[in-house]
Structure 1
Amino acid sequence: MGIIERREAEKEALKKKIIDAASEILINEGYTNLSIRKIAAKIEYSPGIIYHYFKDKSEILSFIIKRGQAKVSKIINETLIDENKPENSIINVLKNYIKFVLDEKETYKAVLMNSLDDTNLNIKMLYEGVSKDKKSISSMCDCIQTGIDNGRFKKVDVELTAQIIWTSTYGLISRLIIEKNVPKEQEKKLIEHHLQFIINGLIGGKI
């Protein structure tokens, strides 16, 4: 590894330390108690070093959110649309998403289950036309439209339906996180029933 490559690797390693420390503070103390000074103390660097990478704590939060969104996009991109049974694609992507969030529930709770003005532009998904901006919504729209086109799903407003599917899934996840210690068997039944309820609503007695 050359000098330039080594320096870049060192920069990325430090950036990761900053983000990991910020995530830990978010989880344990909440966003209001997150500060550049606290992050610096945790990683044993000066605050000035952190400002070299991020202008303020809101930019750090934005980075954490985008990192999570990138993981969600990966989950979505790895789920191909089943042209014959698009409901399978919907079930698979939602199952994988629910598992991902529950595996990282503390970060999800600290970042997305609080009313943080700094996150609003990153996580809004209820506005008209969101399918042009959000991969999660546009991919769900594609699945729904495929089902309508091949006669498996009833005709619906595709974007509105995709929004409701995602927001209802967020609701279930939020309750599973808030209501700690839900037995695994009950958690599994709730998730399975949620997914079946969605598919039944799309099919609407057509099949």
Structure 2
Amino acid sequence: MTIEKRREREKEEMKELILSAASDIIAIEGFDKLSIRKIAKKIEYSPAIIYHYFNDKEEILNNVMQRGYKKIISAVSSTEMKNTSPEERLVEMTRNYIEAALNMPDEFMAAQLNKSNEALKHTSWLFKGASKEKLALSELCQCLQDIYKDKEADENTIELTAQMIAVSTLGLIMKLTVERNLVEEQRQRLIDFYSKEIVLRIANGNKIK
């Protein structure tokens, strides 16, 4: 390994250390309590070192949020779902989204419940036209369009339906996160019933006549 490649790897490792520390602090204390000083203390480096890798706390927050969002996008965009029916794809997208969120419960909850403008730039998706800006919502809308392919689907109705599915899914995730001591069998029953029954009812209930 060349010196240049080793330095690049060390740089990435340090950035990962900083972001992981920031994620831990956010999960425990929330976005508002994050500070460069706390990150520095957690990783046992001086604050000056952190500024060598990131311009400020906002840049760190953006990176943390983007990492979480990428996990969600990966969950709802799995290539394994491409050859399934749109209804089956909708079920799998929903289940995958729930499982991805539950794999990072504290971080996910801290992000979704934060009202700061910085966090809302990443977590807001109820505004009109959100499906053109938010990739996860766009994937959901595309799935609904495929379900309605034989009908004259209204774009606004599709987006509203996607937003309502997203809202109800978020509610289930939050409740499962709070009641995290549920027996695993019951947890899976709830996720399966919601994904296979409730979400499809929402989608099919809005099929264009």
TM-score (normalizing by structure 1): 0.88
Match in the other structure for 2:203: 202
**AA paired with 1:136?**
A
- 1:60 shift after superposition: 1.3
- Gapped regions of structure 1 (runs ≥ 5): none
Match in the other structure for 2:137: 137
- Gapped regions of structure 2 (runs ≥ 5): none
- 1:81 shift after superposition: 4.0
**AA paired with 1:173?**
I
- 1:65 shift after superposition: 0.8
8 Å CA contact 1:89, 1:143 repeated in 2: yes
Q: What is the correspondence of 1:68-107 to structure 2 with a 5 Å cutoff?
A: 68-79=68-79, 80-82=81-83, 85-107=85-107
Q: What is the correspondence of 1:41-190 to structure 2 with a 5 Å cutoff?
A: 41-79=41-79, 80-82=81-83, 85-150=85-150, 157-190=157-190
**AA paired with 1:203?**
N
Regions of 4+ moved over 6 Å: none
RMSD of Structure 2 on Structure 1 (CA): 2.1
Secondary structure of 2:128's counterpart equals coil
Secondary structure of 1:52's counterpart equals helix
Give the number of aligned pairs. 203
Identity of aligned residues (%): 40
The structure-2 alpha-carbon separation of the partners of 1:205 and 1:94, relative to structure 1 and needing over 3 Å to count, comes to closer
TM-score (normalizing by structure 2): 0.88
Quick one: distance in 2 between partners of 1:37 and 1:205? Answer: 50
8 Å CA contact 2:165, 2:202 repeated in 1: no
- 1:202 shift after superposition: 2.4
User: CA offsets per residue over residues 45-82 of structure 1, 9 Å max, x none?
Assistant: 22111112222223212211100111222222214345
Quick one: distance in 1 between partners of 2:34 and 2:160? Answer: 36
* Higher deviation after alignment, 177-186 or 39-48: 177-186
